[in-house]
Structure 1
Amino acid sequence: MHCVRTRFRNAVAALAVAGVALSGPAAAEGTLRIAEQFGIGYLPLHVMRHQQLIEKHGKALGLDIKVEWAQLSSGAAMNDALLSDSIDMASGGVGPLLTIWDRTRGNANVKAIGALNSMPLFLTTNNPNVKSIKDFTDKDKIALPAVKVSVQARTLQMAAEQAFGDGKFDVLDKVTVSLPHPDATTALLSGATEITGHLSSPPFQYQQLENPKIRKVLSSYDVLGGPHTFNLIWAKEAFKAKNPKTYAAFLAALKESMALIDKDHPAAATAYLAINKGDLDKGFVEKILNDPDIQFGVAPRNMGKYAEFMNKVGAIKNKPASWKEYFFEDVHGETGS
Structure 2
Amino acid sequence: MKKRTFIHSLLVAALTASASLAAQAEGQIRIAQQFGVVYLLLNVAQEQKLIEKHGKAAGVDVKVEFVRLSGGSAVNDALLSGQIDIAGAGVGPLLTIWDRTKDKQNVKGVASLGNFPYYLVTNNPAVKTIADFTDKDRIALPAVGVSVQSRVLQLASAQRWGQDQFNRLDKLQVAVPHPDATAAIIKGGTEISAHFGNPPFQNQSLAANPNARIVLNSYDVLGGPSSATVLYATEKFRNENPKTYRAFVAALDEAAKYITANPEGAADIYLRVNQGQLDRNLLISIIKNPEVQFKLTPENTFKLATFMHSVGAIKNKPGSAKEYFFEDPHSAAAN
Measured in 1, the distance between the counterparts of 2:48 and 2:231 equals 19
TM-score norm. by structure 1 comes to: 0.91
- TM-superposed CA distance for 1:218, in Å, is 1.3
1:305 to 293, 303, 306: 303
Alpha-carbon offset, residue 28 of structure 1: 2.9
Which moves more between the two structures, 76-85 or 294-303?
294-303
Q: Which one of 235, 241, 247 corresponds to residue 245 of structure 2?
A: 247
Aligned residues of 2:322 and 2:332 also touching (Cα < 8 A): no
Q: CA deviation at 1:164?
A: 1.7
1:336 offset after TM fit, Å? 2.5
Aligned partner (choices 88, 91, 96) of residue 91 of structure 1: 88
Match of residue 169 from structure 1? 166
Q: How many residues align?
A: 313
- TM-score, scaled relative to structure 2: 0.91
Report what 1:291 is aligned to. Answer: 289
Query: Which residues in structure 2 correspond to 1:223-262 (within 5 Å)?
Result: 223-262=221-260
Distance 1:129 1:333 in 2: 43
Residue of structure 2 in register with 1:104 after alignment: 101
Structure 1 residue identity aligned to 2:211: K
* Aligned 1:311-322 pairs, distance under 5 A: 311-322=309-320
1:335 counterpart letter in structure 2: A
Tell me if structure 2 keeps the 8 A contact 1:101–1:111: yes
Q: Deviations over 1:116-155 (max 9, x none)?
A: 1111110110101111100000000000100011000001
Q: Is structure 2 residue 14 aligned with structure 1 residue 39?
A: no
Q: Give me the whole-angstrom Cα distance separating, in 1, the residues matched to 2:42 and 2:118.
A: 19
Is there any run of 5+ residues in structure 2 with no aligned partner, and where?
A: 1-21
- Aligned to 2:120, what secondary structure does the other structure show? strand
Q: How far, CA to CA, are the matches of 1:70 and 1:27 in structure 2?
A: 24
- 1:132 corresponding residue in structure 2: 129
Contact 2:95–2:305 (8 Å) recurs in 1: yes
Counterpart of 2:68 in structure 1 is 71
CA distance change for structure 1 residues 168 and 257 in 2, over 3 Å: closer, same or farther? same
Aligned partners of 2:129 and 2:91: how far apart in 1? 24
Deviations 1:242-265 (A, max 9, x none): 111111100100111001111110
Cα distance 1:332–1:59, how it changes in 2: closer, same or farther (>3 A)? closer
* Aligned residue number for residue 9 of structure 2: none
**Secondary structure in 1 matching 2:219:** helix
Alignment counterpart, residue 275 of structure 2, candidates 274, 277, 291: 277
Does the 8 A contact of 1:324 with 1:332 survive in 2? Answer: no
Aligned partner of 1:218 among 202, 216, 219: 216
Secondary structure of residue in 2 paired with 1:167: helix
C-alpha separation in 2, matches of 1:284 and 1:159: 28
Q: Which residue of 1 aligns with 2:193?
A: 196
Distance 1:149 1:194 in 2: 21
Q: Deviations over 1:248-288 (max 9, x none)?
A: 10010011100111111011101111111110122211111
Equivalent-residue separation in structure 1 for 2:331 and 2:131 (angstroms):
42
- Which region of structure 1 is more displaced relative to structure 2, 76-85 or 292-301? 292-301
Q: In 1, distance between residues paired with 2:160 and 2:324?
A: 30
Equivalent position of 1:61 in the other structure? 58
Contact 1:32 1:66 (C-alpha < 8 Å) held by counterparts: yes
Structure 1 residue 165 displacement after superposition: 2.2
In 2, Cα distance between equivalents of 1:161 and 1:324: 25
User: Residues 325 and 331 of structure 2 are in contact (CA less than 8 Å); yes or no, is this contact kept in structure 1?
Assistant: no
Identity %: 56
Following superposition, the deviation at residue 332 of structure 1 comes to 5.8
1:27 positional shift: 9.5
Higher gyration radius (CA): 2
Deviation at 1:333, TM superposition (A): 5.7
2:163·2:311 contact (CA, 8 Å) conserved in 1?
no
In the alignment, the residues of structure 1 paired with residue 23 and residue 261 of structure 2 have an alpha-carbon distance, to the nearest angstrom, of 34
Q: In the alignment, is the contact (CA less than 8 A) between 2:111 and 2:331 conserved in 1? A: no
Q: What is residue 180 of structure 1 aligned with on the other side?
A: 177
Amino acid at match of 1:135: D
Q: Residues 48-77 of structure 1: CA distance to partner in whole angstroms, max 9, x if unpaired?
A: 001000000011011111101110011111
Structure 1 Cα separation of the partners of residues 317 and 247 of structure 2? 31
Task: Compute the RMSD of aligned alpha carbons.
Answer: 1.4
Which residue number corresponds to residue 120 of structure 1? 117
Distance 1:26 1:180 in 2: 37
Q: Is the 8 A contact 1:26 1:88 kept in 2?
A: no
Instruction: Tell me the distance in 1 between the aligned counterparts of 2:331 and 2:36.
Output: 28
How big is the shift at 1:160? 1.0
Query: 2:49 aligns to what?
Result: 52
